Amino acid sequence: VDERAAMTLALELAWRGWGRVHPNPLVGAVVLSGDGRVVGEGWHAEFGGRHAEPIALEAAGDRARGATLVVTLEPCNHQGKQPPCTDVVLAAGVRRVVAAVPDPNPDASGGAARLAGQGLEVRIGLEREAAEAQNAIFLHRFRETARPFVALKLATSLDHRIADAAGQSRWISGESARAYVHWLRAGFDAVGVGGRTARVDDPSLTARGPLVPRVPPRRVVFDPSADLGTELDLVRTAHEVPTIVLASVDARTANLRRLALAGVAVHQAGSLEDGLALLRREGIGSLLVEGGGRLVGALLARDLVDRYYWVQSPLWLGDRGVPATADVPSVPIARTDRWKVVERRALGEDTLLVLDRR
């Protein structure tokens, strides 16, 4: 295989760390012999565990000498929970290193320069866009410190409705899309919904697929009045699944107290921006917002969305169905931003589109 195909393989391997390595990056590595054979594979599988490069190089053994190391992130150059990968790369006798993205972490960067200084050929940037999309949550942490990475996930009808006229949304999407969502949640620090969705659907918002997240996502309900009923499962299970309610500054004290007594972490914020900043300070680096339409619309209107996981299902719900986005200001075509398609794939009869704001 050529270097590009090896990078594609390394990106696939990196996904195996999803749900297990965050807040560290997903990383995959492949050792490519001079005649284009894959002689070693590795991936970062567990937070704090071994890095992809030493695993791939160990698998390659003597065949790493004179070979090319293809890796999705620049090899680290610092002693953290693991020794610097640059040491391991140098010791293995690799001739060339190809990485997709430079390491944004100021503590760990400088790997490429060190390796080049030791006479290795180093190239950075192969499949950079794909690698940046894969590690968007990790990269966001260094680019934007005010708020978490915010992704939307919605299952909609063909006419972009998230529930029928009676408010019923179970189930718009099919089983494989729902299985995908359990996998997706496992890689986020928190899963959020609007207050009305919490009341109408009482969703569990947990990751219940085969992938068991290292740290289960916390739940966040955006509910200005904080008058969620304590009979909701979401509230009753707050002792088992950490649950946050983001209320407005003028929510009634009695409501706040009632939820706090039920084990909910109640916070008050003056705006969506302040609420998101607060979540970030609470250690939430990534938030998956699963509706409803009013919360989603408010986030979009304020330009607070980084990614949209759109599950499009082959059915129509009509004009009285609940719109997927509410109250988003109109924009002329000439001035609107075109989002970038990161992924497009079939999930059973549904279609997944993953789109990033530019």
Q: State the residues that interact with ligand NAP by CB under 6 A.
A: 154-155, 162-163, 167, 169, 172, 193-197, 200-201, 222-225, 272, 290-295, 298, 322, 326
| Residue 53 annotated as catalytic | yes
The DSSP annotation for 285-318 comes to -EEEE---HHHHHHHHHTT---EEEEEE-S----
Contacts of residue 53, defined as CB under 8 A and 6 or more positions apart, other chains included, come to: 27, 29, 42, 69, 71, 75, 85, 88, 89
- Rank residues 89 and 288 by Cβ distance to ligand NAP and give the closer one: 288
Q: Is the Cβ of residue 277 or residue 326 nearer to ligand NAP in the bound state? A: 326
Pick the closer one to ligand NAP by CB: 138 or 309. 309
CA Rg value for the chain: 22
Q: Which is nearer to ligand NAP, 131 or 228 (CB)?
A: 228
The two tokens of residue 51 are 């890095």
The nearest distance, CB 280 to ligand NAP, in angstroms, is 16
Question: Which residue minimizes CB distance to ligand NAP?
Answer: 292
Hey, which bits of the chain come out as E strands? Answer: 28-32, 38-43, 68-73, 96-101, 121-124, 149-156, 161-163, 190-194, 218-222, 243-248, 265-269, 286-289, 307-312, 322-323, 340-347, 350-356
- The distance of closest approach from Cβ of residue 56 to ligand NAP in the complex, given in angstroms and rounded to an integer, is 39
Least distance to ligand NAP, CB of residue 250, Å: 11
CB of 93 to ligand NAP, least distance (A): 52
What angle, 0 to 180 degrees and rounded to 10, lies between the N-to-C axes of helices 85-92 and 52-60?
20
Residue 112: CB minimum distance to ligand NAP, A: 42
Specify the amino acid at residue 5. A
Q: Provide φ and ψ at 354, rounded to 5°.
A: -110, 120
- If the CB atoms of residues 223 and 356 are measured against ligand NAP, the closer one turns out to be 223
Closest C-alpha among 85, 18, 97, 98 to residue 58: 85
Q: Which is the catalytic residue, given 41, 53, 127, 290?
A: 53
Residues annotated as part of the active site: 53
